[in-house]
Structure 1
Amino acid sequence: MRRLGSVQQKIPCVFLTDVKEEQSRKRDCQAFQVVATENVNPVALDANIDCALATEKLDGTCCYVTVYKGQPYLWARLDRKPNKQAEKRFKKYQHSYKSCKGFTWNVEEDFKTVPETWIPAHRVKHHNGHPVPDDHGHIPGWVPVDKDNKQYCWHSSVVDYDVGAALVLRPSSDDENRLEIAAVPLADLQEQTLELIGTNVNGNPYGLGSKKQPVHCLVSHGSIRIRNPPPVDFHQLCSWLQESPEGRVEGIVWHCNDGTLVKVHRHHLGLRWPDGDTCFGTRPVVIRVDGTVDAYNNSKDLFTSFCALNGHCFSRLQDIQFEL
């Protein structure tokens, strides 16, 4: 498992990429697609990717744990984005040059305001005291998740600040083929980035919960290893993603021994996502949220629901239900 702090770095693709003049499948405002070529990125080769740890890239929203109000807190990803006029200029530039590089921003005037509690991610560059936008015109950052903020209600459902815990989905401590959902002290997650996944996040590709009984949880980045990963070869990776049951993933993030991270998305290879049941959603899971129901304030919250299921096993993650 990697500890990233508030890093929101741009992870390079494992293959060299090219630009295709078609509307992006990932970003509505982008009039071109970034596609992988068959050539392995020199960054990956220099980092000895063949010896790297391959982990599953999960499809959710990025979060971060650090101190706020004197205690460990969950923070939600919030990019500072350009206002309408600046965005119009940016799109026009993208369309004309088929690239984001070279566009000039006025950081003081071109961007929307953010809450006073907002902080930029650690590796965001600064110029004249102002954070510098990335290639997509965003300034990555974080805002603390308060229970009173309805905008982040699904984030707040996975934390209990009174007991200082978060609901974390991770590999089981006694069986690496099985997952477990546990109440983990927020202090143990300090300076980690995690992915929030669940019913109301990114179309719920993993089939967690339902509209009536939403289920959300956090997954530490780098914690879900890919068993028997394919070689870093364009054609073998494409075949694995399309044909192997373990290849039903959004992508792979390789963690190299020197700290370098490289990745590949299905959309880099022109493949659909999701495409049927996901590998992650069909893995068995055990609930390990112990304690008493009285330990949690709200009798309807996720902690209480999972506490009532403590010790129960489900054959698939997507089969979790609270009324048994």
Structure 2
Amino acid sequence: MRRLGSVQQKIPCVFLTEVRNEPSRKRDCQQFQVVATENVNPAALESGIHCAVATEKIDGTCCYVTTYNGEPCLWARLDRKPTKQADKRFKKYQYSQKTCKGFVWNVDEDFREVPESWIAAHRVKQENGHPVPDEHGHIPGWVPVDLTNKQYCWHASVVNYDVGVALVLKTHEDEEGLLEIVSVPLADLMEQTLELIGTNVNGNPYGLGSKKHPVHVLVPHGVLRIRNPPPVEFQQLYSWFQECQEGRVEGIVWHCDDGTLVKIHRHHLGLKWPVGDTFLNTRPVVVHVDETDPDASEKDLFKSFSSINGQPFSCIQDIQFEP
């Protein structure tokens, strides 16, 4: 099974899109929305979309594993964003022109400061030694997850740097349809991107854990393959999201043979997300996490998972730890 592409930048829609002057279904306070037309994106066709691998788009926050100070480290997504004044100019241009293209940024003055440890994402264009914003006015990038930084406490809960492992949800190697939560060496995840999901991420659309006992895991991008994907055709995709159990997902990400990634989000089709009874929660899961530190606190997530090591559950939402 080939390793699928990592997510370093915003993924384009599989269809050409247009901006409509109506409130966004995806972002509060955004008075316009981007919707798909029925025309397949030429870039997707050029990359062989009809032969691409279709995978479930997971709703969390993007992470990346690479070295920091010579050791494998989990990095959190931190896009460098415009200042309020620059963003106001950008949105005004976007409204008047109905497009983001052609807007001119002053990277030295228009963007907020980021930590010294910040790095730009792969394939971010550079001009005169400065990274160039994407069409959304962001400069995608990463910061290393520091276990003492409360801003990234939920990222920190899924890694143990002393042992060098991470908590990962993936498909079982031997049983199709079965998921497993395992502790994976960070060294085995190098240069991969993953999605952090759980109790305190993006409104918890999968209903994981509880306030008293949060549950978070990393999901490698591309690992949840769609077994019977619909053809890349507007009406068939719309019907699949509406009518199929497997379509109760946030979206689809296609991984093309040339490394190109393209996606469709339910919001592109005017459909609601999140939905109850997500497809992820129809799949059984088993826990395979050994104890890493006998002296860890009771709140340590690795310790909690090790207490149910070997146990099967009907779905990830059913995983609850003892009080």
Q: Would you call these one fold, judging by a TM-score over 0.5?
A: yes
Counterpart of 1:120, as a letter, is A
Residue 79 of structure 1 is matched in structure 2 by: 79
Aligned CA distance change for structure 1 residues 24 and 76 (closer, same or farther; 3 Å) = same
CA shift at 1:260, angstroms?
A: 2.1
Residue 204 of structure 1 is matched in structure 2 by: 204
Counterpart of 1:150, as a letter, is K
C-alpha distance in structure 2 between counterparts of 1:117 and 1:304, whole Å: 30
C-alpha distance in structure 1 between counterparts of 2:292 and 2:159, whole Å: 16
Aligned CA distance change for structure 1 residues 292 and 153 (closer, same or farther; 3 Å) = closer
Aligned CA distance change for structure 1 residues 95 and 16 (closer, same or farther; 3 Å) = closer
What are the ranges of 5 or more consecutive residues in structure 1 without an aligned counterpart? none
Residue 225 of structure 1 is matched in structure 2 by: 225
CA shift at 1:312, angstroms?
A: 0.3
Residue 297 of structure 2 is matched in structure 1 by: 298
String of CA shifts for 1:11-40, please: whole Å, max 9, x gaps.
221122222122333344644322111222
Aligned CA distance change for structure 1 residues 88 and 16 (closer, same or farther; 3 Å) = closer
Residue 266 of structure 2 is matched in structure 1 by: 266
Contact (CA 8 Å) 2:25, 2:272: kept in 1 or not? no
C-alpha distance in structure 1 between counterparts of 2:280 and 2:138, whole Å: 30
Instruction: Give the secondary-structure state (helix, strand or coil) at the position aligned to 1:195.
Output: strand
What are the ranges of 5 or more consecutive residues in structure 2 without an aligned counterpart? none
Contact (CA 8 Å) 1:31, 1:95: kept in 2 or not? no
Residue 249 of structure 1 is matched in structure 2 by: 249
Given the alignment of the two structures, is residue 18 of structure 1 paired with residue 25 of structure 2, yes or no?
no
Residue 289 of structure 2 is matched in structure 1 by: 289
C-alpha distance in structure 1 between counterparts of 2:258 and 2:139, whole Å: 27
Q: Which moved more, 1:181-190 or 1:222-231?
A: 222-231
Given the alignment of the two structures, is residue 321 of structure 1 paired with residue 323 of structure 2, yes or no?
no
C-alpha distance in structure 2 between counterparts of 1:236 and 1:3, whole Å: 25
Contact (CA 8 Å) 2:5, 2:255: kept in 1 or not? no
CA shift at 1:293, angstroms?
A: 4.7
Residue 2 of structure 1 is matched in structure 2 by: 4
Q: State the Cα RMSD in Å.
A: 1.6
Residue 234 of structure 1 is matched in structure 2 by: 234
CA shift at 1:196, angstroms?
A: 0.3
Aligned CA distance change for structure 1 residues 293 and 299 (closer, same or farther; 3 Å) = farther
Residue 168 of structure 1 is matched in structure 2 by: 168
Percent identity at matched positions? Answer: 74
CA shift at 1:83, angstroms?
A: 1.4
- TM-score for both structures, normalised by structure 2: 0.95
Given the alignment of the two structures, is residue 157 of structure 1 paired with residue 157 of structure 2, yes or no?
yes
Aligned residue pair count = 321
CA shift at 1:133, angstroms?
A: 1.0
Q: Which moved more, 1:26-35 or 1:80-89?
A: 26-35
Instruction: Give the secondary-structure state (helix, strand or coil) at the position aligned to 1:34.
Output: strand
CA shift at 1:228, angstroms?
A: 1.0
CA shift at 1:230, angstroms?
A: 1.2
C-alpha distance in structure 1 between counterparts of 2:166 and 2:299, whole Å: 16
- TM-score for both structures, normalised by structure 1: 0.95
String of CA shifts for 1:100-139, please: whole Å, max 9, x gaps.
2211111111111111111111211111111111112111
Counterpart of 1:156, as a letter, is A
Contact (CA 8 Å) 1:2, 1:192: kept in 2 or not? no
Contact (CA 8 Å) 1:14, 1:264: kept in 2 or not? yes
C-alpha distance in structure 1 between counterparts of 2:223 and 2:44, whole Å: 20
